[in-house]
A and B are shown apart, each in its own frame.
Chain A
Amino acid sequence: MNGMAKKRIVALALAALMLVTVGCDAESRQFVIDLALEWAKEHAIDVGKYTLLGRSGDDEVDAVMGARDVVSNLQEADKLMEEGRAAGDLTKMEQAVEKRPGDYTYRVSYGAALLQSGDTAEAEAQFVAADTAVTSYGSQHVQDYATQGIDELGALRPGFERNGFATKQQCQAYYNRLAYFYGLRYQEARESYFQSQQTLYTGLAQGCK
């Protein structure tokens, strides 16, 4: 790699951010390299604060500074969850949840797998933790959460219909959870289908023996 190419690397890091405001031809690159040094001068206090305290005071910026660890953790957790889902390995799924406790997508899968295995109490604990996390994330996440829950619990239904529920608690937890997810969908979409499904599953939960 020649010297010019190396210079481009650094330039690109800045250029990618600045593409919306400056051009990206060869001259701009050199300009951006100079900017990088200029930037360091301009942010001398911020850099000093970050070097001393490890924080700039701006949460978003500080989060981006630590994003590399987040991404690495995310990749490991994704791998664990993927393997866990494929093999029905509860331990791997639990490890993924521990790595990213705020990720409701993991908790839904883990909760569904626990419910299927008959560990109703732990399944419910996972769903409750996901409920708590997702409520602070905004309505789109609530809808995504409910949709995933309906899909994953729905996928268990043929098995339960074929083999039956092991306990009354498992039956109630399963149908109540489905009713809850349909209720979330109804709250947002206001479609009668979701409401009717909520009513249906609430009734099925009440009929568990």
Chain B
Amino acid sequence: MEPKKRRGCGGCGVVVIVLLLLVAWAAAMRWGVLEKLGLRQPIAEQVFALPPDREASEALLGALQAAGMDTQGVSLHVLPMAGQAGSAAILTLDASRGFDPERLSGDGGDGDALEQVFGHDALQELGITRVAVDYVDDRGKSIVTLTAPVEALRQLGEKGADEKELLRAVMGRIDIPGLVREVGR
């Protein structure tokens, strides 16, 4: 008796299941399902679990104010990183809380205050090894979040790096539609 010929694709079911599992895994990662279910702590909470460096935050913010920057809508947090020797300085420029680039510095908004305060030496003295900037639009949505290690920026500055090298060193997220909307207003 001849064996029955199998119809269709016998292995397709397995392939479909594997694909579905992959999609489910990707979706779980993308929307932080494990974190929402409390099965895993968000990576940011893990890395920034330590108490903030309030003295460094106040010193930097104070230096910005002393340099003439209007700090309405500006917040600065220095967060030590677990498992690392240094901290991350996170500067938030929040238009929904009154940040106005027109009033950024006393001399008409050239950003001199930022330039004076965010120098290598000042950051090194405060143990800051990573800097990050988050721009929040007037609807409270984060448009640009960028970060880079201070040392990488210093090295690039010393060797007079070109644009591409600089861009590679800066990681993060830019909401392009948001950016276009913001710039186009």
In the complex, A46 Cα to B170 Cα: how many Å? 11
Which residues of chain A come closer than 8 Å to B135, judged between CB atoms?
9-10, 12-13
CA of A81 to CA of B41 in the docked complex: distance in angstroms?
21
- In the complex, the answer to whether A62 meets B173 with C-beta atoms within 8 Å is no
- Are B153 and A56 in contact (CB-based, < 8 A)? no
Of the residues A17, A65, A103, contact of B44 by C-beta under 8 Å? A65
B49 interfacial contact with A, CB 8 Å: yes
Residue A86 is within 8 A (CB to CB) of chain B in the complex: no
Query: Which residues of B, 56-113, contact A by the 8 Å Cβ criterion?
Result: 75, 77, 79-85, 88, 90-93, 95, 99-102, 104, 109-112
Listed from nearest, the 10 A-B pairs whose CB atoms lie closest are A102-B49, A66-B44, A63-B47, A21-B157, A13-B144, A13-B135, A8-B101, A64-B147, A63-B44, A54-B30
Q: Which residues of B are at the interface with A, using a C-beta cutoff of 8 A? A: 26, 29-32, 42-52, 75, 77, 79-85, 88, 90-93, 95, 99-102, 104, 109-112, 114-115, 118-120, 130-135, 137, 142-148, 150, 153-154, 156-157, 161, 163-164, 166-168, 170-174, 176, 179, 182-185
CB atoms of B49 and A133 under 8 A apart: yes
Size bracket of the A interface: 35 or more
**Is A47 within 8 A of B173, CB to CB?**
yes
Q: Whose C-beta in chain A lies nearest to the C-beta of B158?
A: A21
- With the chains together, A74 CA to B170 CA distance in Å? 26
- Grouping DSSP codes into helix (H, G, I), strand (E, B) and loop, the B interface class, with mixed when no group exceeds half, is mixed
Interface: A141 (CB within 8 A): yes
* Contact in complex: A21, B170 (CB < 8 Å): no
Which residues of A sit under 8 angstroms from B32, Cβ to Cβ? 54
Using A42-B168, A63-B46 as known contacts, list a sample of 4 further A-B pairs with CB atoms less than 8 Å apart, ordered by residue number in A. A5-B101, A10-B179, A38-B163, A54-B29
**Contact check: which of B48, B85, B114, B119 meets A15 at CB < 8 Å?**
B114
**Cβ contact within 8 Å between B43 and A56:** no
Interface of chain A, main secondary structure: helix
Let me know if A191 is at the binding interface, CB within 8 A.
Answer: no
A24 engages B110 (CB within 8 Å): yes
Query: Do A12 and B111 touch (CB < 8 A)?
Result: yes
In the assembled complex, the Cα of A67 lies from the Cα of B80 at a distance in Å of: 12
Complex alpha-carbon distance, A3 and B101, angstroms: 11
| Residues A61 and B133 in contact, CB atoms below 8 Å apart | no
Which residues of A (1-40) have their CB < 8 Å from a CB of B?
1, 3, 5-10, 12-22, 24-26, 33, 35-40
